[in-house]
């Protein structure tokens, strides 16, 4: 072998190594892209599920509904106190009648 043949072989070996590295990088990038696409699809699916759960639930409507329920709870508590007071009054009257 002469010197130019050795240089060409050496250059070809380096080129071959670079091509193999590039092929490896391309393969890794393809795998990464496939993984990222799967993750994206899963996140899109989860987002769609959450959107469906929230569909029709207007936040301001829910706040008003909550306020109405709290108001109703206070009214019931007031009525409960009134009933308890009346019962106590009736018990005292019964005690006086018995005594």
Map out the domains of the chain as residue ranges.
1-55, 58-99
The per-residue pLDDT for 1 is 58
Q: What is the pLDDT of residues 63-89, one digit of tens each?
A: 898 999 999 999 999 999 999 999 999
Q: Is the pLDDT of residue 99 over 80?
A: no
Average pLDDT, the chain: 89
* Contacts for 80-89: CB closer than 8 Å, 24+ residues apart: none
Residue 51 has pLDDT above 90, yes or no: no
DSSP result, 26-92 = HHHHHHHHHHHHHHHHHHHHHHHHHHHHHTT--HHHHHHHHHHHHHHHHHHHHHHHHHHHHHHHHHH
SS3 15: helix
Give the pLDDT confidence score for residue 61 in this predicted structure.
Answer: 83
What the block records as the tokens of 24 is 């490896």
Residues 22-50, mean pLDDT to the nearest whole number: 94
């Amino acid at each position: 072998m002469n010197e130019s043949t050795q240089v060409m072989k050496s250059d070809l070996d380096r080129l071959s190594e670079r091509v193999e590295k590039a092929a490896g990088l391309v393969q890794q990038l393809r795998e990464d892209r496939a993984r990222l696409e799967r993750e994206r699809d899963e996140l899109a699916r989860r987002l769609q599920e959450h959107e469906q759960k929230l569909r029709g639930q207007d936040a301001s409507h829910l706040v008003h509904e909550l306020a109405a329920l709290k108001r109703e709870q206070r009214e019931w508590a007031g009525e409960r106190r009134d009933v308890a007071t009346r019962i106590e009054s009736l018990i005292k009257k019964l005690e006086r009648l018995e005594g």
